Structure 1
Amino acid sequence: MAEFPRKQGKRHEEDVLSSAVNFLLANARLVLGVGGAAVLGIATLAVKRLIDRATSPPDEDDAKADATSLEDSWKDLSLLKATPRVHSRSLPPALSQPVLLPAPSLFAPEGPAGADPQPSQLTSPGPLCLTFQEKLLAFERDHVSIPVSHVALAKQLAGDIALELQAYLQRKFPELPFGALVPGGPLYDGLQAGAADHVRLLVPLMLEPGLWSLMPGMDTVARDPRCWAVRRTQLEFCPRGRSPWDRFLVGGYLSSRVLLELFRKALAASVNWPAIGSLLGCLIRPSVATDELLLEVQHERQELTVAVLLAITSADTEQRLLAWPREGLAGNFWLQDLYAAEAARLQALDERDGGTRRRLLLLLCGVCQGHPVLRRLSWCHLAQVVLRLGEEEVGWAEAALGERFLQAVELLIGSLEQASLPCHFNPGVNLLDSLRPEEIDSIGYALYFGLQAPEGLLWVGPGRQHVF
């Protein structure tokens, strides 16, 4: 029964504090404007919660309510867009001085309530005189750039694995016409930060001209703009059985699902990876924890993951299609691969004006891969943001890299708020459809606070591993 008076007293103190906050914000709007008052309100709320944690035992119901209201606040972009750039230019001299408020940490776990702060929490991790641009370039140098020797070793391992796998396919499936296996991907195009992305090992399927045609996914029962169907044609003149690929037909279409299952069994059970790894001086293991065809490679100096991708290339439509694990009606169809077009467009834009778009993409990948929440954003998500921003007529010199970084974060937050990130070369595809609503909320929440304190996004701790 003693708990009730304590809660009642706590509510009374909160009412008094809330009245003071409301009075402060009401007067702040007259001077700071709506955007400045919003920032002050968020900062005041953060201070209030820190005081509550330090002076009161935790209350489970209140904590849940606070967490819910704070997570919902990132979605209000009208507050966001006013925060980074409405400081000293629009405020009177007396109000334009920086307010030293404790910023919420993006990474460090909170200690128990009432615990004394450790000395390491009170000291800045870097020199206070560095600008965000300088910190960003230092982060790029220390945690994004991959040593040339490591890139060369990764390419050598991927190339050797490609040769060994191709020899196995010729022995195991001599009747199936596979093309030359080609390793590629961001690592080969200078677009990989650390080990964030897999080395792509394309296994081309050589289809007979005139016996196959490609159909857009929107013209099929799947109604999926990202997919294509590979239909068997000329059955009246060349009946089933004339093509070695006919054994993989489902309903008159070449099934990516059946081919994936064949390769998964072969890679997991038939290929002698211990012998191949011993020959190449590394350890190779097929990954069984994912539906993708992945090979985990461990060398004494580095690690990498090789993604084996079954590919169809059409000379008529200039399309590259990949066998990709999908559910539902699109399970037998093929996924449109736009990586080559995206990488080529970024390179062309940078060559046109000597820009830093590809460096910006590397920085975003480096930041996201080391963050426990942002790592859900893949290379593909971040490339769309850079492509959309890169088409704008703005400065792309190195001196503007920090500003472009913040603009990319702001653009990404806007896309998350709308739950819409259209594909640059296929606007009908929403790349955020692969994320659950709660994942979108947590990513937006982390980026929202990252935009308030950008240096926090460059945090480096035990969770970040620079594998390459």
Structure 2
Amino acid sequence: MAEFSQKRGRQRDEVLGSTVDFLLANARLVLGVGGAAVLGIATLAVKRLIDRATSPRDEDDAKGDTTSLEESWKELTLLKATPRLQPRTPPAALSQPASLPTPVVPSAPEGPSGTEPHPSPQPSSPAPLCLTFQEKLLAFERDHMTVPEAHVTLAKQLAGDIALELQAYLRNKFPDLPFGALVPSGPLYDGFHAGTTDRVRLLVPLVLEEGLWNLVPGVDTVARDPRCWAVRRTQLEFHPRGSSPWDRFLVGGYLSSRVLLELLRKALASSVNWPAIGSLLGCLVRPSVASEELLLDVQHERLELTIAVLLAVTGADAEDRPLLAWPLEGLAGNLWLQDLYPAESARLRALDEGDAGTRRRLLRLLCGMCHGHPALRRLDRSHLTQVVLRLGEEAADWAEAALGERFLQALESLVDSLERASLPCHFNPAVNLLGSLREEDIDDIGYALYSSLQAPEWLF
């Protein structure tokens, strides 16, 4: 009986062995060497499980059942631990033409004397397409950053309608507060938007009385913040508190941006009937309660839009210096942040018109590139604008043919600024625009940019 069992086991092993050989031979053709190796591990492990399950058990085998099965499951788990072997393109190959392997054609056997072997057909393959970095940059701009004019028109129309509805609400809700006319603005209106992800700026101006308010630089306050300004109430001996409707928002003799910001935040989140407004405009409007900024998310069947509602101080000083209520921390919480966007956009426009350059186009590409990258997303438009402004006044050639070169120079300038953790403001060198970023964020951004310089195509 034992002899019969051994004979039957040998026959079963031969059948399983032939099956394994057949599977592995065909796997090499279909899956390649890496796939065949993984399949071989699985097949052999399953074969051992079948052997142990169907073989007659003697006393010695019964003692080692637990250990043998445990070893078999460990072999099966190699499938999970073994990574898939996929071809990876080295970074240098991204900027070089891809070299295709030469197909191996088996040589035909020699025929009888006087006859020539028939030539084997040579497979024809198209020549690999090798694009320059400039061409890849333009392709990224064409495929990912071109917004149909109809979408731009629709976005402006929705922003304008929402501005009118919000203005009517503020005048009805706060009839004693002299809010100015709400004006949409931003990259979408200035012609250098980076896709539909750019926010529309909706300014809510606070009209302050002439002679009752004065601007104090942030460095002269306890906050010592050069980015900000304080709005101080003056002429109290002739116009005591209560003479201005804005006096009820004073904190320590200064107009508090924080108090006004909270007032408008509560109104947008709980008082405005956004469902009715959205139904009237044919879209869905919802305030973003998760953000510290005042944001409205607009969803239309053709596009999605984000509107940033910005409280702005106007008419308080002879100088044209717009100030925004911004969620600042610490001692600067009641101060007003200087709005650099109008000056930045005006300067870029003037530089481009002076030499028909492409500075605003470069800014659009940088914004689109950073928005799609998980680490570079922390760089906002203000950071990138300052880099383009500095480069825009230093470099001489701003023709379209030099766009790729200017793009790489902008990345190098960013890396240099991040290494020093310093990005001075073009209009106020005392302001370090990287000062609001954490050290960990600066390291992550710098590493991502430094790595991308080796193969900038990865950014797209």
Which TM bucket (shorter chain)? Answer: 0.7 to 0.9
Gaps of 5+ in 1: 1-110, 459-468
TM superposition score normalised by structure 1: 0.72
2: distance between equivalents of 1:164 and 1:457? 40
Equivalent residues in 2 for 1:424-439, closer than 5 Å: 424-439=426-441
One-letter amino acid of the counterpart of residue 229, structure 2: W
Change (3 A) 1:147 1:227: same
2: distance between equivalents of 1:417 and 1:403? 21
1: distance between equivalents of 2:165 and 2:236? 36
Deviations, residues 219-240 of structure 1 (Å, cap 9, x unaligned)? 1111100000000000000000
The aligned counterpart of 2:423 is: 421
- Measure how far apart 1:436 and its partner are: 1.0
* Identity value in percent: 75
Q: Which has the higher contact order (CA 8 A, sep 6+)?
A: 1
- Measure how far apart 1:124 and its partner are: 7.4
2: distance between equivalents of 1:128 and 1:207? 62
- Measure how far apart 1:114 and its partner are: 4.2
The aligned counterpart of 2:302 is: 301
2: distance between equivalents of 1:399 and 1:358? 15
The aligned counterpart of 1:96 is: none
- Measure how far apart 1:195 and its partner are: 3.2
2: distance between equivalents of 1:380 and 1:150? 25
1: distance between equivalents of 2:433 and 2:421? 9
The aligned counterpart of 2:4 is: none
1: distance between equivalents of 2:82 and 2:275? 52
How many residues end up aligned between the 2 structures? 348
8 Å contact kept, 2:94–2:457: no
Q: List structure 1 segments (4+ residues) > 3 angstroms apart after TM superposition.
A: 111-114, 118-128
Equivalent residues in 2 for 1:390-405, closer than 5 Å: 390-405=392-407
8 Å contact kept, 2:185–2:201: yes
The aligned counterpart of 1:200 is: 201
2: distance between equivalents of 1:352 and 1:298? 39
Change (3 A) 1:352 1:119: closer
The aligned counterpart of 2:231 is: 230
Secondary structure at the aligned position of 1:391 is classed as helix
Change (3 A) 1:221 1:291: same
8 Å contact kept, 1:284–1:297: yes
One-letter amino acid of the counterpart of residue 305, structure 1: T
8 Å contact kept, 2:197–2:306: no
- Measure how far apart 1:453 and its partner are: 0.5
TM superposition score normalised by structure 2: 0.73
Equivalent residues in 2 for 1:83-232, closer than 5 Å: 114-117=83-86, 128-232=129-233
1: distance between equivalents of 2:375 and 2:163? 33
2: distance between equivalents of 1:271 and 1:252? 31
RMSD: 2.0
1: distance between equivalents of 2:151 and 2:196? 11
2: distance between equivalents of 1:113 and 1:338? 54
8 Å contact kept, 1:313–1:321: yes
- Measure how far apart 1:317 and its partner are: 1.5
Gaps of 5+ in 2: 1-79, 99-127
Name the larger-Rg structure: 2
One-letter amino acid of the counterpart of residue 175, structure 1: D
- Measure how far apart 1:128 and its partner are: 4.0
8 Å contact kept, 1:196–1:365: no
Aligned residue among 366, 377, 393 for 2:379: 377
The alignment status of 1:366 with 2:335, answered yes or no, reads no
Deviations, residues 317-353 of structure 1 (Å, cap 9, x unaligned)? 2110000011111101100001000001001101111
2: distance between equivalents of 1:306 and 1:113? 48
2: distance between equivalents of 1:233 and 1:221? 19
- Measure how far apart 1:455 and its partner are: 1.1
The aligned counterpart of 1:274 is: 275
Secondary structure at the aligned position of 1:319 is classed as coil
Secondary structure at the aligned position of 2:188 is classed as coil
Secondary structure at the aligned position of 2:215 is classed as strand
335-344 or 136-145, which moves further after superposition?
Answer: 136-145
8 Å contact kept, 1:216–1:225: yes
